[in-house]
């Protein structure tokens, strides 16, 4: 069920001021500058939170969303060579609800044509990864049909993710579906220009892009909620 709010409660557009703030962080990524511009950050953050909430509202019209998470702008620099204290983007994710609906949506606002929406399976656990590979090995036709679909191609182009160089343990490098079996991650993404991000129809573009992802999610949900014999792994 979608969120019920007054028509003007949600922000439906990303402003040029928000993108400019992120550009300025890139050029002034230090605590002194950030403190001097804290009011700009708070204004941009409020706008983005409202916008992301409207994205969730749109998603919930056709999907079941368990929760939205907006990531902090503060970087964890403990194990990074880059000691810049702040991210130069706003990002969030949406988790699908129940064990029957697998996959997660991702969304980031970043200047210079790097804004991105996408989703999929970034770090499947070993059991899920093995099941995905086994089902691709058995019959990759449904997945290939989804990846070749016109709407998928228009929005995402190709499946993305890290892959092993030859073949995973237990699989043959000569398997006709080895190109898909090699994947360790299974996700897609679409980038947007700054002009697209600040346009009045950006929210509609996001909505239709996520809808184009649903056939892939539906397929992967079926893969991950039944065993190799088609027996459900989870109760309704």
Q: Please give the chain's pLDDT, 236 residues, in tens.
A: 344 444 444 567 899 999 999 999 999 999 999 999 999 999 999 999 999 999 999 999 999 999 999 999 999 988 888 999 999 999 999 999 999 999 999 999 999 999 999 999 999 999 999 999 999 999 999 999 999 999 999 999 999 999 999 999 999 999 999 999 999 999 999 999 999 999 999 999 999 999 999 999 999 999 999 999 889 988 76
Give the per-residue pLDDT at 10: 57
**Structural domain contains residue 1:** no
**Structural domain contains residue 25:** yes
Query: Tokens for 107?
Result: 């969304």
**Structural domain contains residue 235:** no
**Structural domain contains residue 234:** no
Give the per-residue pLDDT at 80: 86
**Structural domain contains residue 69:** yes
How many domains is the chain partitioned into structurally?
A: 1
**Structural domain contains residue 10:** no
**Structural domain contains residue 236:** no
Domain containing residue 86 = 16-224
Give the per-residue pLDDT at 143: 98
Give the per-residue pLDDT at 187: 97
Give the per-residue pLDDT at 131: 97
**Structural domain contains residue 231:** no
């Amino acid at each position: 069920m979608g969120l019920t709010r007054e028509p003007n409660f949600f922000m439906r557009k990303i402003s040029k001021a928000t993108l400019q703030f992120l550009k300025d962080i890139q050029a002034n990524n230090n605590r002194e500058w950030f403190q001097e511009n804290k009011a700009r950050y708070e204004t941009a953050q409020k706008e983005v939170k409202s916008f992301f909430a409207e994205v969730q509202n749109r998603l919930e019209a056709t999907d079941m969303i368990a929760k939205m998470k907006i990531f902090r702008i503060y970087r964890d620099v403990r194990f990074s060579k880059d000691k810049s204290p702040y991210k130069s983007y706003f990002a969030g994710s949406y988790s699908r609800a129940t064990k029957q609906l697998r996959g997660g949506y991702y969304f980031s606002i970043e200047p210079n044509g790097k804004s991105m929406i996408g989703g999929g399976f970034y770090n499947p656990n070993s059991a899920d990864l093995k099941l995905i590979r086994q089902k691709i090995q058995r019959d990759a036709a449904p997945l290939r049909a989804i990846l070749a679909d016109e709407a998928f191609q228009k929005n995402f182009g190709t499946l993305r993710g890290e892959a092993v160089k030859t073949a995973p343990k237990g699989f043959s490098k000569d398997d006709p579906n080895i190109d898909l079996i090699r994947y360790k991650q299974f996700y897609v993404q679409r980038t947007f220009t700054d002009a697209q991000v600040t346009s009045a129809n950006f929210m509609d573009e996001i909505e239709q892009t996520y809808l184009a992802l649903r056939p892939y999610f539906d397929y992967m949900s079926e893969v991950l909620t039944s065993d190799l014999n088609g027996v459900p792994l989870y109760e309704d």
